[in-house]
Structure 1
Amino acid sequence: MPINPAAPPTLHAFFGGTFDPIHYGHLRPVEALAKEVGLNQVTLLPNHVPPHRPQPEANAQQRLKMVALAIAENPLFAVDDRELHRTSPSYTIDTLETIRKERGASLPLAFIIGQDSLLTLHKWHRWQALLDVCHLLVLARPGYSQQMDTPELQQWLEQHRVTDATQLSLRPEGAIYLADTPLLDVSATEIRERRHQGISCDDLLPRAVQRYIELQGLYR
């Protein structure tokens, strides 16, 4: 089939997280987002030293291995381990600016966050620069407000929001898309608590990850 020269470039999406451990609350909403927006691939970015959260229980190598096991049979996902090689705090904007330089100025890039992160985005390091390098794709999260904390932040959201996903491939950055993804109430905290109590987590994360957690003796 000949390539259509008028077709917009493919949107490349990235999804960061501590992934301590990775679970269905990460994977299934992103799979739904990919169908909704038309993503061919989502690159997972495991964090090394998250600046705003408690430090992970599993080490960097273990978390990377769990991510690899979770996505091994799913061609939608890839993994980029660049943040795990840092010894300093891992700021999203720094990583995205590096990716933007690597991919060029014209390629549409997106970063996936949850509604919970959108509501606290103004507390992130250089948060206002994010839309200078990428779009933001926002996953629905159970129990979180649909409104920003202040009128100024709500105005910022409405100024950049698009409701037509096809618009995301027509420009490199600058838009916010609120996705209609499933509300899965799964958290890594719940998984760790179940492990402490000796309760199975097979319904919360891929079996291969659960086996690895058991073999490594994690979250006891």
Structure 2
Amino acid sequence: MAKVLTALFGGTFDPIHYGHLLPAIALAKEIKLAHISLLPNHIPPHKPQPEATTSQRLAMLRLAIENYPIFSIDMREITKAKLDKPSYTIDTLKAWRNENGNSQGLAFILGQDSLLNLPTWHNWQTLLDYCHLLICRRPGYADNTNDPFLKKWIKRHQTNDIALLHQNSNGSIYFANTPLEDISATEIRQQISSKKSCETLLPAKVWQYIQIHHLYGA
């Protein structure tokens, strides 16, 4: 019996924006998450290197969540970067389980785009041995995958039962009814580089930080 259900939400957060925050907050309300730990990547295996430095991304994260007590920052992948190794989600989940035991409820938040790319992840088939997957919708992405193995895997583990997520510590995939936020960090960086305002897409203090430190060509 899982005691509480907490979640990890990984990302480059370069920069963090409302497309990250608003769906996560809605998700927490929808399934009664106790807590969400933001998990900034240092060396994301499937993405280009961040434009902002690690310290700058962390500073923006702290500013973004200071009025949202449901969030904290998990530094484990940043710390791991000191060993100059890529950070894989499966290793993070294993480490979390080793620290918290098998009875604690853990979920990992994914965007729909990441779910469709799951077969490119390291040891992705074993993710549900350590957590639930919570899928947030993303604009422009189909609900179904053309990968027959992934489709079968999703169907086998999918649930609409929120109570099940709290009763079991891992093993299920839940598609959340989160709002569609058509915001991406790539587009924000491009707009800033083109001297366009993105003020409404980011928390005010994050926008101010970007301006003060001249990030992304500001």
TM range (shorter): over 0.9
* 5+ residue gaps, structure 1: 1-6
**What's the counterpart of residue 59 of structure 2?**
65
User: Partners of 1:46 and 1:24 in 2: how far apart?
Assistant: 16
Structure 2 CA distance for aligned equivalents of residues 94 and 178 of structure 1: 24
2:103 paired residue number? 106
Quote the sequence identity (%): 54
Task: Tell me how far 1:88 sits from its aligned partner.
Answer: 1.2
| TM-score, scaled relative to structure 2 | 0.96
Q: Determine the C-alpha separation between the residues in 2 that align with 1:173 and 1:154.
A: 19
What secondary structure, in the 3-state scheme, does the structure 2 residue paired with 1:58 have? coil
1:8 offset after TM fit, Å? 5.3
Are 1:48 and 2:42 an aligned pair? yes
Name the TM-score, length of structure 1 as normaliser.
0.95
* Residue 88 of structure 2: aligned partner: 91
Q: Which has the higher helix share?
A: 2
C-alpha separation between the residues in 2 aligned to 1:130 and 1:104? 16
SS across alignment from 1:191: helix
Write the distance in 2 (CA, Å) between the matches of 1:187 and 1:150: 25
Specify the alignment match of 1:4 in structure 2: none
Supply the AA of the counterpart residue of 2:189. R
In the alignment, structure 1 residue 75 sits paired with structure 2 residue 72: no
Quick check: 1:64–1:81 contact (8 Å CA) kept in 2?
no
- Give yes or no for the alignment of 1:189 onto 2:183: no
1:40 shift after superposition: 2.2
1:139 and 2:139 are equivalent in the alignment: no
- Taking the aligned partners of 2:67 and 2:128, their CA distance within structure 1 comes to 32
Question: Is residue 165 of structure 2 the alignment partner of residue 164 of structure 1?
Answer: no
CA distance in structure 1 between the aligned counterparts of 2:144 and 2:197, rounded to whole angstroms: 36
- What secondary structure is seen at the aligned counterpart in 2 of 1:45? strand
**Per-residue deviation, 1:172:** 1.1
**Shift, 1:150, TM fit:** 2.1
- Is the partner of 1:203 in helix, strand or coil? helix
Q: Distance in 2 between matches of 1:199 and 1:207?
A: 15
Which moves more between the two structures, 146-155 or 27-36? 146-155
Residue 216 (str. 1) matches residue 201 (str. 2): no
Give secondary structure in 2 for the equivalent of 1:43: strand
Number of residue pairs the alignment of both structures matches? 214
